[in-house]
């Protein structure tokens, strides 16, 4: 059942011993939103706690600073920024799947698995919803809470760069700054710092970029060895996948990554009029218009050839490439 913001505020007022669940592979929004709400609830004298299936990334650990991990029997369980029960991860799902009282989320794809759901898919980040919720609850937004919410809003929007932002996103960020969010430090740590592993992976990936079809297509390829040597992780590879499409005039950017089992995971990103989902569908995959994926087998050269043929056909069919 979907509920409104004010119903959510009312509901939370009547509850105590609240457990907040962040999604697996946690990002700035699920953690920032969870810790903001946790701080607000404990600030009102309630018991609250945040848990997550995966370890908190180093750069986001400050969100939990000073939050005591309380022990209590949870009476009310809230999933934060989690569109699907699968996103909780195996451990949390096994423990809580049938017991989730509330979900607060901004993903249009939310499967409404919780007893009640506060969904606002116009919000660029769940942290925007939590901000409005705390105002509705007349909670004091301390500088620490402002830091958490600013982290959520800024990380889910690439620091206000993505097309998901609205003027409301910027106004909320402005208010968070006025409430004491340490935005200069946060921006530097979150957006101006590269981990050593990311720097190593980026260097290897950029070196592997090949340009095809007169500059309309750029493809990078990362082998198991390159990935292992860099010490990088999935989240960092996701960011690497965006690099080929960033090059001027490129309509189709692709990132190929060799998996542990020797197959190749391919991520395709396109600029209009090219359709990433169509290109990947022809290769047994799928996704969105601008970002899609598929898995290919064989040697790296074979995988690359299959992919390039599909991209070539798509460019020809869009009349971006002339045959002959």
109 binds its own copies (CB under 8 A): no
Kindly list the distances between the CA atom of residue 60 and the CA atoms of 57, 65, 134, 152, 279, in Å, as whole numbers in the listed order.
5, 10, 22, 10, 36
Site size for its own copies, by CB under 8 A? 37
298-231-300 Cα angle (round to 5): 15
Question: Shortest gap between Cβ of 27 and its own copies (angstroms)?
Answer: 18
**DSSP state string for 67-107:** --------SEEEEES-SSGGGG-HHHHHHHGGG--EEEE--
Instruction: Please say which residue, 7 or 189, places its beta carbon nearer to its own copies.
Output: 189
Instruction: Please say which residue, 10 or 193, places its beta carbon nearer to its own copies.
Output: 193
Question: Shortest gap between Cβ of 198 and its own copies (angstroms)?
Answer: 8
Question: Shortest gap between Cβ of 66 and its own copies (angstroms)?
Answer: 23
Longest Cα–Cα distance in the chain:
73
Q: What is the DSSP letter of 113?
A: -
Instruction: Please say which residue, 141 or 310, places its beta carbon nearer to its own copies.
Output: 141
Q: Which stretch binds its own copies (CB under 8 A): 195-203, 230-238, 276-284, 295-303?
A: 195-203
Question: Shortest gap between Cβ of 80 and its own copies (angstroms)?
Answer: 24
Residue 32 and residue 27: Cα distance in Å, rounded?
8
Residue 138 and residue 126: Cα distance in Å, rounded?
18
In the numeric block, which tokens belong to residue 155? Answer: 């990380």
Q: Which of residues 247-306 bind its own copies (CB under 8 A)?
A: 247-249
Q: Which chain residues interact with its own copies by CB under 8 A?
A: 159-163, 165-168, 170-171, 173-175, 177-178, 183-184, 187-188, 191-196, 199, 202-203, 206-207, 209, 215, 246-249
């Amino acid at each position: 059942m979907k509920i409104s913001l004010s119903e959510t505020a009312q509901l939370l007022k009547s509850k105590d011993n609240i457990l907040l669940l962040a999604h697996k592979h946690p990002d700035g929004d699920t953690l920032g939103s969870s810790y903001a709400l946790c701080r607000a609830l404990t600030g009102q004298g309630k018991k609250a706690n945040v848990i997550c299936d995966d370890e908190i990334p180093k750069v986001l650990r400050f969100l939990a600073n000073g939050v005591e991990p309380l022990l209590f029997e949870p009476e009310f369980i809230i999933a934060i920024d989690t569109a699907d029960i699968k996103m909780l991860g195996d451990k949390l799902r096994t423990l809580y799947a049938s017991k989730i009282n509330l979900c607060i989320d901004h993903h249009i794809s939310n499967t409404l698995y919780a007893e009640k759901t506060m969904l606002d898919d116009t919000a660029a980040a769940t942290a925007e919803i939590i901000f409005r919720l705390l105002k509705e609850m007349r909670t004091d937004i301390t500088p620490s809470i402002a830091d958490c919410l600013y982290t959520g809003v800024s990380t889910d929007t690439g620091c206000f760069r993505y097309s998901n932002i609205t003027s409301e996103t910027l106004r909320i960020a402005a208010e968070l700054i006025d409430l004491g969010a340490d935005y200069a430090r946060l921006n530097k740590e979150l957006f101006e710092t590269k981990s050593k592993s990311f720097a190593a992976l980026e260097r290897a990936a950029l070196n592997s970029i090949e340009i095809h079809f007169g500059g309309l297509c750029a493809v990078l390829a990362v082998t198991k060895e390159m990935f292992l040597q860099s010490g990088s992780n999935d989240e960092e590879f996701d960011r690497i996948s965006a690099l080929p499409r960033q090059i001027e005039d490129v309509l189709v950017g692709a990132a190929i990554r060799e998996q542990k089992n020797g197959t190749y995971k391919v991520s395709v990103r396109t600029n209009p009029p090219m359709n990433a989902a169509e290109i990947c569908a022809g290769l047994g995959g799928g996704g969105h218009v601008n970002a899609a994926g598929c898995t290919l087998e064989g040697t790296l050269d074979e995988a690359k050839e299959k992919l390039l043929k599909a991209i070539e056909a798509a460019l020809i069919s869009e009349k971006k490439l002339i045959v002959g």
